[in-house]
Structure 1
Amino acid sequence: MTTLNDRIFGVLMIVLAIAYGWGATQLPEPFGGSEAVGPETFPLLLAVVLGLSSLYMVVRPDPDNAWPWSRTGVELVIAVVVLVLYAMLLQPLGFIISTTLAVGTLCWRMGARPVKAFITGGVAGVVVFLLFNFALDLALPLGLLDFMEAN
C-alpha cells in the first residue's frame, strides 16, 4: 500500500510540473525579446526537475514509505500552507516581504528562534532580490515598495 502512496503523489506532482511549466510559458516576453534567459527560464527548469523527480517516484516508489500522520505530517501541512500563502502574497506584498515571512516561518517551524528565523528570512529575501535584479537582470515584484514609490 505504501508504494501506491508514492505513485499517487508522483502522478499528482507530474500534473503540477506540467501546469507549472505551461504557466511559465505564459509569462510575457521581456522588452526586446531577444534575451536567451527570460522570465520563464527558471520556472521551466523547476518544472523539468519536478517532473523528472516525480517520474522517478512513480517508477521506483519507496517500499518502506508510510504517510506521516504524527507531528511531521502536521508540519508538512503547515509548510504547504505557508508556500501557498507565499505565492498568493508575492505580488501584493512584494518579493522581500513575502520571502521574509515565508522563510522566517519555515525556519521557525524547523526549530529556530523566531527572531533569528525572521532575520534569516529577511537576509535571504534581500540577497536573492539583489541577485535577481542586478546580477541576473530579472525584475522581482516590489509590492508595497512599488506602491510607496508611486505616491
Structure 2
Amino acid sequence: MTFNDRIFGVLLIVLAVAYGWGASQFPEPFGGAEGIAPGTFPTLLAVVLGLSSLYLIVRPDPDNAWPWSRTGVELIVAVVVLVLYAMLLEPLGFILSTTLAIGTLCWRMGAKVLNAYLVGAASGVVVFLLFNFALDLALPLGLLSFLEVS
C-alpha cells in the first residue's frame, strides 16, 4: 500500500514550498552587509525537505501502514508539542519554551520526568548561549528578559 507515502510526500512538498517562500521573505541585511543572507539556511532546509518528499513519492515503502496504535498517538503528541513550542517561543522565551518542549518529548520517549526536564533545561541554556555569544544571533528571552545584558 504505497498510497500512504505518496500522500505524505505531497503534503511535505506543500510544506517545503511554504517554508521556502517564507525564507525568501526575510529582509536583506542592513547596509548590504556581506556574508550569508538570513534566509540561506531555511532555504537549504526547504530544498532538502522538497527532495526528500519527491523521493517518498517516487519510491514509496512497499510495506507501510499508518501507525494507528500507540506510536500514532505519540506522533500526534510530538506534533502538538512542536506546534506549542513555536507558539510559546516569543512569549516564554527560548530557554523556557525549549525546556518545556525537549523535556516533554524526552519524557514521552521514556525518560524519568526530572531527568527529562533537566536535559531540556540544559539544552535550552547551552543552545541559547551558543547562539547569543558564539554565533551572535539573538534569541528571545521572553519571561527571562530581566537577564538581558545591555
Whether these two folds match at TM > 0.5 is yes
Q: Is the deviation greater in 120-129 or in 104-113? A: 120-129
Q: Are the aligned partners of 1:39 and 1:138 in contact in 2 as well (CA < 8 Å)? A: no
Q: Is the deviation greater in 60-69 or in 131-140? A: 131-140
Cα distance in 1, alignment partners of residues 82 and 42 from structure 2: 15
Instruction: Give the secondary structure class of the aligned counterpart of 2:2.
Output: helix
Q: Which residue of 2 aligns with 1:132?
A: 131
Distance 1:19 1:79, change over 3 A: same
Q: Which residue of 1 aligns with 2:4?
A: 5
Letter in 2 for 1:24: A
Q: Which residue of 1 aligns with 2:75?
A: 76
Q: Are the aligned partners of 1:94 and 1:145 in contact in 2 as well (CA < 8 Å)? A: yes
Instruction: Give the secondary structure class of the aligned counterpart of 2:88.
Output: helix
1:116-131 paired onto structure 2 within 5 Å: 116-131=115-130
Cα distance in 2, alignment partners of residues 53 and 33 from structure 1: 33
Is 1:48 aligned to 2:47, yes or no?
yes
Deviations 1:101-132 (A, max 9, x none): 11110000000001110111111111111111
Deviations 1:32-68 (A, max 9, x none): 4414224323322221221111111111100101100
- Unaligned 5+ residue runs, structure 1? none
Cα distance in 2, alignment partners of residues 135 and 148 from structure 1: 18
Q: Which residue of 2 aligns with 1:59?
A: 58
| Count of residue pairs the alignment pairs up | 149
Instruction: Give the secondary structure class of the aligned counterpart of 1:51.
Output: helix
Q: Which residue of 1 aligns with 2:104?
A: 105
Cα-Cα RMSD: 1.9
Q: Which residue of 2 aligns with 1:89?
A: 88
Instruction: Give the secondary structure class of the aligned counterpart of 1:37.
Output: coil
Q: Is the deviation greater in 97-106 or in 17-26? A: 17-26
Compute the TM-score of the two structures, normalised by the length of structure 2: 0.90
Letter in 1 for 2:75: L
Percent identical among aligned pairs is: 79
Cα distance in 1, alignment partners of residues 36 and 81 from structure 2: 29
Distance 1:33 1:85, change over 3 A: farther
- Unaligned 5+ residue runs, structure 2? none
Distance 1:92 1:35, change over 3 A: farther
Distance 1:147 1:28, change over 3 A: farther
Structure 1 outlier segments of 4+, above 6 Å: none
Cα distance in 2, alignment partners of residues 141 and 55 from structure 1: 35
